[in-house]
Amino acid sequence: MTALVAVAHGSRDPRSAATVAALVDEVRRQRPDLDVRLSFLDLSAPRLPDVLAGVAADGHRSAVVVPLLLGNAFHARVDVPGEVHRAASRHPQLRIATADVLGGDPRVEAAALDRLTAVTGPLHDPGLGVVLAAIGSSDVAANRAVTRVAARWARRYGWSGGIAAFATTVEPTVPAAVEQLRAGGAERIAVAQWILAPGLLPDRVERSARAAAPDALIAAALGPHPDLAALVVDRYTAARIDTARIDTAGSPARAAG
């Protein structure tokens, strides 16, 4: 069996790890035939190198690392591949492939819209202004991807406006986005989260949204949504198939992705 090793960023807030663990439990519920393991890059345990070492020690010959990340930014392009490369060097008997991040799949949007609908009711509302809150990245393309999602939602549902905002140093901030939506005629303000799990930065999003609009409707983080769990499985399956194709072609497949 090829082990599925889910890896999240990690947080000092225990709610974050608990929520990610619940998502991984949903993956196990959907696919009880798989060996599914949870790991983190930083701040939470168990760390990815330790989990991969355990996979090797348990006799697995292959594993797929699935990044529980919403953007293809620094963590996806540098941190995860670096850890996988080091693990492959330490455990030459273990073939390790890396799956794509979760972002870019329509099911992430569907999960975020489900969380939003839970607090707003029907989404077709011309008086609604929505802030799509994300953590923010030094990667401009990753931030623009969130901006495109917010704009697409606004067009689809006929909102007064839809603006992406960020919890870190990236502009616009949540209060600035709220102000812009109010200026554009929004009668109700809602905040959707392009964030996997609760934690310190999502708390900052909520505080700043409440300060700017005390009656704002705040959606929950994506969390253990069944669509996300199904997406994790699909990312795993695609990476495993790609690796099998490399093997069939007779090329080395020490680590993919």
Report the half-sphere exposure of 87 (CA within 13 A, side-chain side).
30
**Residue 172: is the preceding peptide bond cis (ω within 30°)?**
yes
Rounded to the nearest integer, the mean pLDDT of the chain is: 94
- Give the mean model confidence (pLDDT) for residues 92-119: 97
Distance CA 241, CA 218 (A): 39
Distance CA 208, CA 68 (A): 26
Given this chain, do its domains 3-102+225-256 and 106-218 carry the same CATH topology? yes
- Give the mean model confidence (pLDDT) for residues 44-59: 98
Phi, psi dihedral angles at 12 (to 5 degrees)? -75, -15
Confidence of residue 257 (pLDDT cuts 50, 70, 90): very low
Q: What tokens appear for 3 in the block?
A: 């082990």
Distance CA 26, CA 196 (A): 14
C-beta of residue 232 within 8 angstroms of C-beta of residue 20: no
- pTM for the whole thing? 0.92
Distance CA 29, CA 80 (A): 25
State which CATH number among 3.40.190, 3.40.50, 3.20.20, 2.60.40 fits the domain covering 106-218. 3.40.50
Distance of CA 58 to the CA centre of its chain: 28
C-beta of residue 179 within 8 angstroms of C-beta of residue 212: yes
Confidence of residue 253 (pLDDT cuts 50, 70, 90): very low
Which residue type occupies 38? L
DSSP state of 221: P
**Which residues, at least 6 apart from 31, have a Cβ–Cβ distance to it below 8 Å?**
4, 233
pLDDT above 50: residue 254 = no
Q: What tokens appear for 44 in the block?
A: 């939470």
pLDDT for residue 256: 39
Confidence of residue 55 (pLDDT cuts 50, 70, 90): very high
pLDDT above 60: residue 81 = yes
- Give the mean model confidence (pLDDT) for residues 120-131: 98
Confidence of residue 20 (pLDDT cuts 50, 70, 90): very high
pLDDT above 70: residue 255 = no
pLDDT for residue 252: 42
Distance CA 193, CA 86 (A): 33
Helix (H, G, I), strand (E, B), or coil: what is residue 17?
A: helix
pLDDT for residue 241: 87
Please state the domain extents for the chain.
3-102+225-256, 106-218
pLDDT for residue 246: 53
CATH number of 3-102+225-256: 3.40.50.1400
